[in-house]
Structure 1
Amino acid sequence: MRAIQPIAELDLAFSLFCLRHRFNRQVARISKVISRTGDGHLYLLLGLLTWWLDSPRFLQAGLLAFSIHLPIYWLAKNSFRRRRPKELCEFLTCFITPSDRYSLPSGHTAAAFLMATLIGQFYPEFYLLALCWATLIGLSRILLGVHFMTDVLIGALLGMACAHIALSLLT
């Protein structure tokens, strides 16, 4: 446990840096909008749109990737049971109510990177845009006070890994 203490301290310091400045309320307003794009509605719309306009492959890959991702995400959340930033430091502000109790991994970030990876595979011309969008979703979760930096990094890795597993199973 002592081996991860420096990481936990860095996480807390980064959260304090992100949340204890005089512009945090303005940044939170923008972050809420960005974070909302990762709530899931856009993913379904994108999958259905590509199915209708292009082919069912993107939708199939997305459904398979999410069916791999969701059980792993749920198991990780309930195994690690990492408390959210506000619970660990009373000086931190949380600008939204999280949808679940624990913070590791970030589900919004995992889903966004899963989608960005699929977009990169099927529509490489939009990969950089999708990657920037996924990164902004992860950053927004930190700036809203519901995740630590490592929650977001692990979420990003989880999302990319699930997308790659789904893609390899479909080929």
Structure 2
Amino acid sequence: MMASISEIDRTTYLWFNQFQQQKWLMKITRGVSFTGDGYFYPLIAGFIYLINKELGLIFLFTGLLAFLFEIPSFIGLKHLFKRNRPFVQLHNAKKLVQPSDKFSLPSGHAAAAFVVATLIAYMFPYWAGLAYLWATLIGLSRVLLGVHYPGDIIAGAALGVMCTFVSILALA
């Protein structure tokens, strides 16, 4: 079963990797990926604070707690699984950005984006669809840029959602 999941992951990755030829798409993809680098998250919290101080503080503290769970978790899982990045493992794979670390599972970008998306969805349900679409596009961008398998994104998304719900429950 794990072998077939890995094969689907590799095949899907290589299918996405072929789109790197589309320069216009890669410009957009880099921009989307940049929104998941972490610089955007404090801006979201600040914007919410400007609109509603109480909700802004709840968003900030819940998000900080979620990241306190998420960051060590994704780092620990990467060192536990030690899954090589696809461009290292597959001879015909290319990367368009330099990843920040050696291992790929789970995706830290996806985990962080889903922390923020889940928190937005919880606090502002009418924005849930847009928030999850944005987080999904960040994850997809990491596959298109060649640094993650699709399974890494799924694992990162699950980790981000779980860490957010743990922080929501802890502060309830």
Please give the TM-score of this superposition, normalised by the length of structure 1: 0.94
The verdict on how the C-alpha distance between 1:32 and 1:12 changes in structure 2, with shifts beyond 3 A counting, is: same
- Out of 5, 8, 26, the residue aligned to residue 6 of structure 2 is 8
For the residue of structure 2 that corresponds to 1:97, the secondary structure is coil
How far did 1:5 drift? Answer: 1.4
For the residue of structure 2 that corresponds to 1:20, the secondary structure is helix
* Equivalent pair of 1:109/1:138 in contact (CA under 8 Å): yes
How far did 1:160 drift? Answer: 0.3
How far did 1:125 drift? Answer: 1.5
User: Separation in 1 of the partners of 2:19 and 2:93?
Assistant: 11
For the residue of structure 1 that corresponds to 2:169, the secondary structure is helix
CA displacement 1:20-49 (0-9 Å, x = unmatched) = 257444322221110000000111111233
How far did 1:155 drift? Answer: 0.3
CA displacement 1:77-124 (0-9 Å, x = unmatched) = 111110001011121110100011100000000111111100011111
* Equivalent pair of 2:118/2:161 in contact (CA under 8 Å): yes
Q: Percent identity?
A: 39
Cα RMSD of the aligned pairs, angstroms, is: 1.3
Which sections of structure 2, spanning at least 5 residues, go unmatched? none
The verdict on how the C-alpha distance between 1:140 and 1:21 changes in structure 2, with shifts beyond 3 A counting, is: closer
* Equivalent pair of 1:50/1:59 in contact (CA under 8 Å): no
Which sections of structure 1, spanning at least 5 residues, go unmatched? none
- Which residue of structure 2 aligns with residue 17 of structure 1? 15
